Amino acid sequence: MNKLFSFGFWNTIARIILRNRLFIILAVIAATIFLAMQWKNMRFTHTEANLLPDHHPVNLEYNKFVDKFGEEGNLIVIATNDTSVFTPEKFNAWNALAEKIGAYDEVSYTISVGNLKELKKFENPKRFELVPLTDSIKTNTLAGVKQYEDKLFNKLPFYEGLVYSKHTNTIQTAVYLKKEIVNSKERKIFVMDVLQPILDDFKTQQNLEIHVSGMPYIRTLNAQNIIDEIQWFVGGALLVTSLIFFFFFRSVRATLISMLTVIIGVMWSFGVLGLLNYEITVLTAIIPPLIIVIGIPNCIFLINKYQQEIKIHGNKAKSLQRVIAKVGNATLMTNVTTASGFATFIITESTLLKEFGIVASINIIAIFILSLLIIPIAYSYLPKPKEKHLKHLGKTWLEGFVNWIERTVKNRRITIYICAVIALIVSMIGIYMIRVSGSLLEDMPKQAAFFKDIEFFEEEFNGIMPLEILIDTQRDKGVLKLSTLKRMQDLEELIIDVPELSKPISILNLVKYSKQAYYNGNPDYYQLPTSQERNFIFPYLKGLAGNNTNEALNSFVDSTGRYARMTILMKDIGTDEMERIEANIWPKINKIFPEERYDISMTGKALVFQKGTNYLVKNLVLSLSLAILLIAIFMAWMFRSFKMIIISLIPNLLPLLITAGMMGFLGIPIKPSTILVFSIAFGISVDDTIHFLAKYRQELKARHWKIRQSVYPALRETTVSMFYTSIVLFFGFSVFMISSFGGTKALGGLVSATLLFAMLSNLLLLPSLLLSLERNIANKKTLKEPPLKIIDDESEEEIN
């Protein structure tokens, strides 16, 4: 590894790059074309983010449920509480809407007020039949519609929660998509190109306020928002970083060269996703704009060094060689450490995190290679920068900032330490206030129409996120035993008492309805039969089991009669709240269903997502710890001093603690969208430390290992580049704050703030620690000749 950072190695690299410019340009073009051809393999994910490993018990429980009953998130609901719907014209139009939607191949069936069936008792032979409600009530007159309305809300409790809510006399149409398309592109096509236009036309023609929701609908619109925002992020990041870059350098060509570099980097990032055949998820979607804001600092360091060299001696060939050899050396280290921070996700067992870690780390190294190749080669073909392009190097206000930093470190070190300790104490208080959120809906744009619809359904039907309870009776036909049904009723009553959960839908509803039908439709008898009544009622149910009109209810018991499901709708609650609910009801569930006789599991995608968030938090600690360990190992290799490892880590850990404290005070939870803040910020903030310490090592060697005489020159030279990169990164990540997604907005704001804290920490706290601990570290054993070979300014040979 020593050879990789040696003077001879980097001079060889410089010669290869500058002597093979045309070949390298053609190779970059060829690689870009090849990766652009891979874009056709890119595809957006059609499922919720599953953060858990495939073999995790929560995933195994969910897969067991899917094996028995198929995909559970296939329901789209269309509702209205407009009282004018119960007039003949609009009532029949509402029913016609359900029929029109139900006619599409993507729809399995619909349940609406217009196609409801009433369970009726018949003799000779004894049987129940589902008879269309419209057979007995005609809806072509106002009186008929009102009669229908009265019967629906007052005499058919079976349909409560399924097609109506008594809260504001809301009715809804339940559209069940075919389960095989729920996680496919066909779902998106149906929702966006078929369902949306039909509903828009209906609202216009009937002047009815309608609300639409359900997981397939929400997932589709949410995914479309992500797709739309990627282009805004990429475009916004390019615009903001280019404007700031131009403001600093006042050079159109420097700006254009940098923009060309990062644009190619973005093209490569999309190409890598396609080449690896990975889906674009909520995590991988942020990689392209991430490459822009990480790539620009590379450009700043390289161009700034080139212009400094030109200003000193005016020799273009020598300047380009020094840029590659000296800045390439330090920039490689910073990019490797940043990539290592992301690569730590690869060791997790979560497919989502693993793919993110692979793509991010590959592209960070790729943007480094592109920067090292494109910028020197581009400048080798261009004339030397003019005097106006070098003016920014001596800006009065920037010089004033550098002088302030130097004076503060020299005269106010005690103040710096006091501020750092206060920030640490306040941050620790904030950290104790952080909560973990596994909500599927929390990040969704609050101003979007579909989010307002979510709130409507939470108010009317207690939520839209399905939570499933799978009951294994451990024997065939065990579900229909009266003892099991009574236990299910006890469980239903338990769940009804939880305000965050809706009334369950299960086979119990049909059994209760059968008793009501047996007593000629009297709603007072909508209850579980007694053991004596069971003997009279169950013979009537035999002919109903194979009735294809009862498909919705048959799906609640498997073909063997061993397994039953209870479907519950859940409000948008976070991980902490759900864990509280589980802790409260599980002991009661186990009491209702003895564990030796029944196997009960709770599952559903919303629950899997919540459990995945907890898993993600644990992996954050693991990956961040590994990243810190990797940096510590690198510092140990660079300095061969434990004290120097501690000194170099403190300025990078403090900003992370401050950010965590901010999250606590601002009420920003840890969730999949904000969990990356720490890895991104740590990986990038360490770059400043490495740039400073790399220059510091050069000064140490030149000044015979005298710390005090080495710190200030290193500080003066690196402050400008660190300030430039931090400002560009600050505004680059601020672009994420234009997002309509709460988590993405928080990610942008938190990373931006963390990087500013990291800049100040590395410019003020790091050199202060070096100076204060001078006597402890300034000895032959601690600061012996490092394995990192320092490239002297006088040691380069010109490349002709």
Tokens of 519: 């007593």
Yes or no: say if 721 and 334 are a contact pair by the CB < 8 Å rule.
no
Classify residue 477 by its DSSP letter: T
Res 267: pLDDT: 92
Judged by DSSP in three states, 530 sits in coil
Q: What angle do CA 466, 436, 681 make, to 5 degrees?
A: 125
Res 168: pLDDT: 79
Work out the mean pLDDT of the chain and round it to a whole number: 81
Mean pLDDT of 269-290: 84
Res 783: pLDDT: 47
**CA–CA distance, 657 with 643 (Å, rounded to integer):** 21
The backbone torsions φ and ψ at residue 567, rounded to the nearest 5 degrees and listed phi first, read: -95, 125
How far from each other are the two terminal CA atoms of the chain, in whole angstroms? 29
Q: What angle do CA 577, 581, 585 make, to 5 degrees?
A: 175
Res 410: pLDDT: 86
Tokens of 483: 């003892």
Q: What is the pLDDT of residues 588-646, one digit of tens each?
A: 999 999 988 999 999 887 788 778 777 777 777 777 777 778 777 777 776 667 777 78
Res 31: pLDDT: 94
Res 613: pLDDT: 76
Yes or no: say if 500 and 626 are a contact pair by the CB < 8 Å rule.
no
Q: How far is CA 215 from CA 107, 172, 392, 551, in A?
A: 15, 15, 54, 20
Res 395: pLDDT: 60
Per-residue pLDDT at 545 exceeds 60: no
Q: How far is CA 447 from CA 356, 461, 734, in A?
A: 29, 21, 20
Res 261: pLDDT: 92
Least confident of 124-128, 369-373, 657-661: 124-128
- Which residues lie below 8 Å from residue 734, measured CB to CB, with a gap of 6+? 240, 748, 749, 752
Per-residue pLDDT at 67 exceeds 70: yes
Res 1: pLDDT: 46
Instruction: Report percent pLDDT > 70 for the chain.
Output: 89
Res 426: pLDDT: 93
Mean pLDDT of 443-472: 81
Res 437: pLDDT: 74
Res 791: pLDDT: 42
Neighbours of 578 (CB within 10 A): 20
Q: Which of 101-115, 308-322, 694-708 has the highest mean pLDDT?
A: 101-115
Give the DSSP H/E element, type plus range, for residue 299. Answer: helix 287-313
Res 251: pLDDT: 78
Res 749: pLDDT: 86
Mean pLDDT of 486-503: 90
Res 798: pLDDT: 44
Split at pLDDT 50, 70, 90, the class of 701 is confident
**CA–CA distance, 95 with 92 (Å, rounded to integer):** 5
Least confident of 45-54, 74-83, 360-369, 480-489: 45-54
Res 639: pLDDT: 67
Q: How far is CA 655 from CA 71, 124, 730, in A?
A: 44, 80, 14
Least Cα distance to 483 among 495, 473, 498, 469 occurs for: 473
Mean pLDDT of 745-758: 84
**CA–CA distance, 262 with 260 (Å, rounded to integer):** 6
Mean pLDDT of 268-275: 91
Per-residue pLDDT at 33 exceeds 90: yes
Q: How far is CA 582 from CA 111, 587, 607, 681, 786, in A?
A: 31, 9, 11, 35, 56
Res 705: pLDDT: 67
Mean pLDDT of 117-134: 83
- Which residues lie below 8 Å from residue 401, measured CB to CB, with a gap of 6+? 719, 723
**The residue to which tokens 């450009």 are assigned:** 299
Per-residue pLDDT at 46 exceeds 60: yes
Q: What is the pLDDT of residues 387-425, one digit of tens each?
A: 665 665 556 567 788 888 888 888 888 999 999 999 999
Res 392: pLDDT: 58
Yes or no: say if 18 and 372 are a contact pair by the CB < 8 Å rule.
no
* Residue-by-residue DSSP string for 411-423: H-HHHHHHHHHHH
Per-residue pLDDT at 789 exceeds 60: no
Yes or no: say if 78 and 249 are a contact pair by the CB < 8 Å rule.
no
**CA–CA distance, 146 with 140 (Å, rounded to integer):** 11
**CA–CA distance, 464 with 467 (Å, rounded to integer):** 9
Res 363: pLDDT: 93
Res 234: pLDDT: 77
The residue type at 285: A
Instruction: Report percent pLDDT > 90 for the chain.
Output: 13
Yes or no: say if 130 and 119 are a contact pair by the CB < 8 Å rule.
yes
Yes or no: say if 759 and 652 are a contact pair by the CB < 8 Å rule.
no
pTM, two decimals, is 0.76
Domains and CATH numbers, the chain: 2-46+221-432+609-777 (1.20.1640.10), 75-216+451-608 (no CATH)
Per-residue pLDDT at 490 exceeds 80: yes
- Which residues lie below 8 Å from residue 214, measured CB to CB, with a gap of 6+? 75, 76, 77, 175, 464
Tokens of 159: 């349909």
CA dihedral 52, 58, 62, 65 (to 10 degrees): 170
Least confident of 5-19, 62-76, 384-398, 660-674: 384-398
Taken in order 703, 709, 710, 713, is the CA torsion positive or negative? negative
Res 656: pLDDT: 86
Mean pLDDT of 56-78: 83
Per-residue pLDDT at 87 exceeds 50: yes
Per-residue pLDDT at 77 exceeds 80: yes
Per-residue pLDDT at 467 exceeds 80: yes
Q: 161: left (phi > 0), else alpha (psi -120 to 50), else beta?
A: left
Classify residue 524 by its DSSP letter: G
Tokens of 21: 């410019």
**CA–CA distance, 776 with 685 (Å, rounded to integer):** 26
Q: What is the pLDDT of residues 193-240, one digit of tens each?
A: 899 999 999 988 888 888 988 888 887 877 777 777 777 777 777 888
Q: What is the pLDDT of residues 353-373, one digit of tens each?
A: 788 889 999 999 999 999 999
Res 297: pLDDT: 80
Res 489: pLDDT: 92
